[in-house]
Amino acid sequence: MNVLMVSAEAAPFAKVGGLADVLGSLPAALTQHSMDVRVVLPAYGTIDRRRFEIQHQFSFVTVDRHGPMEVEVYRSAWNGIIYYFLSTWPFFGSEDSVYTVRDWDIPRFITFNQAVKHFLELLRTQEKWQVDWLHAHDWHMALLPFMVDQLRQNSDWAKLKCALSIHNIGYQGNDAGGWYWDRGIPERQSHLLRDSPLSDNQLAIGIAYADFIHSVSPTYSREIQHPAYGHGLHGLLSERKDDLYGILNGIEVELYNPAVDGRIASRFDACNFATKRPKNKSALQQFSQLREDADCLLIGMVSRLVWQKGVDLALPALRSLLADSDVQLVILGEGDTILADEVRTLANDFSWKVHARLEFDEAFAQQIYAGSDVFLMPSRFEPCGIGQMIAMRYGALPVVRETGGLTDTVTNYDNAAGDTGTGFMFLWEQPIAIERTLRWALKTFQEQPVAWKKMQQRAMEADFSWQRSATQYANLYEHYSMEQDA
């Protein structure tokens, strides 16, 4: 089975967020299921072509209402996967960032979708590789299911299938109708969109036309069918619920492996963590200029400082806890300037207990995962989340809100012998809920050391590999292919 994934990001070539990590890892995992998986993304000016040995393959010309448009095709192999890069002036090829502003990004990605549609034929004729499944990721590529629906009128493409992955439904490419007209995109005739403003919403178009829709966790796939999380698309998603699935993202278990990680002070695994992991806590306290004390609960945070991540809810809770309890906090992140100022104030007010770095440093993030006792992740919504999975792999127990992928990856402590649980969970979007849950974790840390270690070991042994996720993707491809053949 030949699968072409289409995305705005793919690590290590172009990365802004978690989308890039998926496209950098999932394709290789899928090859273990007898699939030939390739990836195509824009040839951004930021991509280091020399480093990645990106070579020019061929060029082609498409014609739209503005006339001919030349597209250059480049190719590279990485991690055993072929990646293609499409460049077309003035949209892609010389820019200094992956994303720009909305009024430029929407026409850029519409044009890219059009280029990919034509690229499919060139893959078939010049590369001798016919796509069986096109897999579009997020709103940027969500016109492709509609375009595949048109292509299937040609007998050469009658069996072509198209899936759509939703990584964050808050970004949709909405109100794009004027650009569709300008680029010559035909009217969308699906009964799910007719007589609706959603016919000009790029993500909605993809949802309406995709063979199946996937979100990045089972809980998130249910949440987005409701008004509180659906960002206006909950009704459409409910209409497509029989073709909507949730599959958790994975993590690179070879990269995030405390047994071999050279970025931490002491390497350890699920068998020897009780004796070797404490050295990482001591090293983190030293580096952060905090009191070295194995019995003091050390709270870690690695987060973007934005509303979604619930940082504004966490800060009052942390202030209250720091004021009357023997705890420490190390926080790493950047983002909203107001939230950054509030973090800075908290660090100044409790300078002997709090260390804050208002930037992103991947090596320091690993030290926080390896050295913290608990990892705080109080997100308002979290499609999947990766921080909690890395923290668990490194033996830091998550304190998380019960939402999205956090619900699917963390199990709540049984408040007893630790026979179940890998962390501590709360539901309310309130500072008091975070505070009480942190106090619960503190009490457990101080009074239930055996239960604590049981949870640490269970968390470290959890399977968050991409192989687990890839098996579920492969099953969906197979199911929908067989459904068409039946």
Is residue 214 situated within a structural domain? Answer: yes
Distance of alpha carbon 386 from alpha carbon 382, whole angstroms: 10
Q: Specify whether 321 is located in the same domain as 367.
A: yes
Is 405 part of a structural domain of the chain?
yes
| Statement to judge: residues 311 and 203 lie in one domain | no
Do both 281 and 221 map to the same domain?
no
**The pLDDT of residue 189:** 86
Residue 293 and residue 335 in one domain: yes
Q: Return the closest-CA partner of residue 74 out of 42, 97, 46, 111.
A: 42
CATH number at residue 444: 3.40.50.2000
113 and 235 share one domain? yes
Same domain for 348 and 230:
no
Phi then psi for residue 83, to 5 deg, are -115, 130
Assess if residue 268 is contained within a domain: no
Half-sphere exposure of 484 (CA within 13 A, CB side): 15
- Helix extents (H) in 297-425: 311-324, 337-349, 362-371, 387-393, 404-409
In-domain check, residue 264:
no
The amino acid that residue 25 corresponds to is: S
Are 29 and 119 within one domain? yes
**Contact at 8 Å (CB) between 371 and 279?**
no
- Output the pLDDT for position 70: 94
* pLDDT, position 485: 64
Q: Are residues 391 and 246 in the same domain?
A: no
Token pair, residue 432, equals: 């008091």
Whether residue 119 is contained in a domain is answered as yes
For residue 16, what pLDDT is reported? 87
The answer to whether residues 62 and 68 touch, using CB atoms and an 8 Å cutoff, is yes
Count how many domains the chain has: 2
Cα–Cα distances in angstroms (integers) from residue 483 to residues 237, 258, 321, 476, 477, in the given order: 21, 43, 56, 10, 10
Task: Give yes or no: residues 242 and 299 share one domain.
Answer: no
Please report whether residue 136 resides in a domain.
Answer: yes
**14 and 36 share one domain:** yes
DSSP 287-321: HTT----TTSEEEEEE--BSGGGTHHHHHHHHHHH
The residue range of the domain holding 432 is: 273-464
Residue 99 within any structural domain of the chain: yes
Which mean pLDDT values do the consecutive 10-residue runs of the chain (486 residues) have? Answer: 97 91 95 96 95 95 85 95 96 92 94 96 93 98 97 93 96 93 90 86 97 97 96 96 97 94 97 97 98 98 95 98 98 95 98 96 95 98 96 98 98 96 97 98 98 98 94 96 72
Model confidence, pTM: 0.93
* 322 and 196, same domain (yes or no): no
Query: Are residues 478 and 454 located together in one domain of the fold?
Result: no
Contact between 246 and 214 under an 8 Å Cβ cutoff? The reply is yes
Tokens 């006339």 sit on residue: 67
Adjacency order of strands within the sheet including 212-215: 55-64, 67-78, 81-87, 36-42, 2-6, 133-137, 161-166, 212-215, 244-246
Say how far apart CA 347 and CA 101 lie, in whole Å: 34
Residue 346: partners with Cβ closer than 8 Å, 6 or more residues away? 315, 318, 319, 322, 329, 354, 356
Phi and psi torsions of 15, nearest 5°? -130, 125
pLDDT (tens digit per residue) in 252-285: 999 999 999 999 999 999 999 999 999 999 999 9
Judged on CB neighbours under 10 Å (0-12, 13-18, 19+), 287 is middle
Query: Is 42 inside a domain boundary?
Result: yes
CB 177, CB 207: distance < 8 Å: no
